Amino acid sequence: MRYMGFILALALPTWSPLAQESAEYRACSEKARTQAQMNACANEAATRADADLSRAYDNVLSKAESDPEAVAKIKALETAWTAYRDAYIEATYPARDKQAEYGSVYPMEVDILRAKLTRQQIAAVKDLLQH
């Protein structure tokens, strides 16, 4: 019984990212049979999230177009967030030779993290519309 708590402690962190994955990613990854296919699924998910974020920024910018100062600040936010995202991913996977250190799952893990961070930023950008 004491091992059950240990197993749950190990399993719970893996459930959190899964809860944030899109239906498209889940459908793709269920069909994937090789690491390359799983990497492609994760890359597609990250690309979809990037496109959704771009639309969210476009929406906010269109609402602020009459205020040049607000537009400049929103664009600065976008630039700063991209730098933050890239730095966060680099800090998560700091090895110089990433493929050697993290293996063939590295591209998939980075794209899943990129998609997760991007979905969080989409929510933050949508919050800007409330102000």
Q: Which two tokens stand for residue 41?
A: 């699924």
Mean pLDDT of the chain: 86
More confident residue, 33 or 14: 33
Measure the CA–CA gap between 125 and 131, rounded to whole angstroms: 11
CATH code of the domain containing 124? 1.20.1270.180
pLDDT at position 103: 95
The one-letter code for the residue type at 109 is E
pTM for the whole structure:
0.80
Mean pLDDT of 49-55: 97
Q: How confident is the model at residue 22 (pLDDT cuts 50, 70, 90)?
A: confident
Contact of 32 with 26, CB cutoff 8 Å: no
How many of the other CB atoms lie within 10 Å of CB of 91?
8
Which amino acid type is present at position 80?
Answer: A
Q: Do the Cβ atoms of 49 and 115 come closer than 8 Å?
A: yes
Output Rg (C-alpha) for the chain, integer angstroms: 18
**Average pLDDT of the segment spanning 26-49:** 92
Report whether pLDDT(19) > 90: no
Span 65-92, pLDDT tens digits: 999 999 999 999 999 999 999 999 999 9
Reported in sequence order, the residue ranges of the chain that DSSP labels E, i.e. its strands, are: none
Report the domain count for the chain: 1
Give the domain extent around 98: 2-128
Lowest-pLDDT range, 23-27, 105-109, 122-126? 23-27
Three-class SS of residue 131? coil
Nearest Cα to 60, choosing from 75, 49, 48, 44?
A: 75
What is the per-residue pLDDT for 24?
Answer: 85
Predicted pLDDT at 20: 57
**Whether 49 contacts 122, CB under 8 Å:** yes
Q: Tokens representing 42?
A: 């994760």
